[in-house]
Structure 1
């Protein structure tokens, strides 16, 4: 088993709150990601969306494009309409040689609503739960034909947030619907990341290694903060700077023979959490975790 370490530009420039790191040049992000030791990076809002231009942007830094977020509205769209909406993003990822797409259902989501408590998120009705698995399986099949696997991103503020919702989605869908395993979102949701990984290790298609600051999380829950307010306050951080036990959280992934990317993804205010310093902390912590688990890291 070989794993590669990557990062996400959200530590430098936030997609949901563009004022966080809005003046940070993309070149700074890419240069510092490489300085921290990462081999790849996910898409952010400052990246070119044309394959040639994107390849020329990444090449001087020796970074591979790993994947990129896609916010679906499959709850409210037909399969054909969702495929049409996602096609430009899928084309870009396929052209760049990405093996997975970060796919999240954002229909009705409150994750981007700063005035809405994350606890007031939507849930799917029983009727939706009967229909949704077949719809997402059809989308996953279309993606697989292009050589890109759907990696479903459970996310705070959305209809698939908790371990029980992940269990229900995975149990109702074929293996073509992979799971994006995000340690930070599971911890925020009050669930045990390692337990989820133990149940679904064979379906994990992508890993977001995100840590959580427990003091900030307690306040966010007690005071009914929005997701974005929690982010600005620092609920998330890089591995090694919070309360998640990554040795335990990644052990089921390692035992399953996962071969892919571990992505350090910690949306923070770069004015409060200096990106390069935190990127180095995250890289070092995952490197140590891989060594302890007997996981080989590729350059």
Structure 2
């Protein structure tokens, strides 16, 4: 039976530089930032993330002008952290976070997406550290993440949303549950990325239904199950897996996004749902048609009284 969907639930759909093949602040294989802003607006999105810090202009006044001229609003910034390494990395982490948080706040956004560091290099596959955390590292990860949530809220008025990610220590259902159970809901929410969670064997609908109060933000993407099976069998790192096409255009993969969005609506909270179509590197003319089709598909997932 389909659950009753509260009419007050609001899902705000956006996109991100990632959907244009942007992974780095500066890379000759990526489209210029002006083209990204032009095309994301042309594709029908009103919300965007900042992407890698330095890709979009970092001067708040200029970025505000550029986004406003295109009818765009920023939903979140993104930071990368290695907080399981303990207090010794705090100062370095905060130096990375502070500038991004300041720009995010200046743009009127309220969320900071926190991505854990990779245990293996996402390009070369070089193993950087053990893929399994020790109990002490888990304690450092949870305590330091709570500290980050507190500091970001107090200094910038932002809420952190931690992003489970392939090839990190917060990835599988077991590790995500362990992380959520060990952190303060008042300080730490989750950015559920449907593609990454499926990549790591998780069920997004089950996670939303089990930890609904922790879901603070969504990233929408799908994986190709056949490519994923080969990637897992061959132990392919995440970057080369993306180059193989493991993240595919909706609705051609898993998980089905309609049930995910229905479960999210049933939480009766406002949520951002940001499309992240991982496809680095990609031809410069590929992203816009994909983004248009994805936006139309997501509109078809809406319900009367709660359009997407």
- TM normalised by structure 2 equals 0.87
Q: Higher mean Cα deviation, 256-265 or 151-160? A: 256-265
Indicate the SS of the match to 1:101. Answer: strand
Q: CA deviation at 1:272?
A: 9.0
**Equivalent position of 1:171 in the other structure:** 181
Specify every segment of 5 or more residues in structure 2 that has no aligned partner in the other structure, as ranges.
1-8
Say if 2:84 and 2:138, in contact at 8 Å, map to a contact too.
no
1:43 aligns with 2:70: no
For residue 196 of structure 2, the aligned residue among 185, 197, 210 is 185
**Equivalent position of 1:148 in the other structure:** 158
For residue 58 of structure 1, the aligned residue among 67, 84, 87 is 67
Q: CA deviation at 1:247?
A: 1.5
Q: CA deviation at 1:258?
A: 2.8
Q: Identify if the C-alpha distance between structure 1 residues 187 and 20 changes in structure 2 by more than 3 Å, giving closer, same or farther.
A: farther
Q: How many residues align?
A: 293
**Equivalent position of 2:142 in the other structure:** 133
Indicate the SS of the match to 1:295. Answer: coil
Q: CA deviation at 1:112?
A: 2.6
Q: CA deviation at 1:130?
A: 2.7
CA deviations 1:217-276 (Å, max 9, x no partner) are: 121112221111111111112332323211122222111113121111011143298111
Matched residues in 2 for 1:210 and 1:136: separation? Answer: 25
- TM normalised by structure 1 equals 0.90
**Equivalent position of 2:20 in the other structure:** 12
Specify every segment of 5 or more residues in structure 1 that has no aligned partner in the other structure, as ranges.
none
Q: CA deviation at 1:37?
A: 0.9
After superposition, the CA RMSD in angstroms is: 2.3
CA deviations 1:164-188 (Å, max 9, x no partner) are: 1111111111122010011000111
Say if 1:114 and 1:227, in contact at 8 Å, map to a contact too.
no
Q: Higher mean Cα deviation, 40-49 or 158-167? A: 40-49
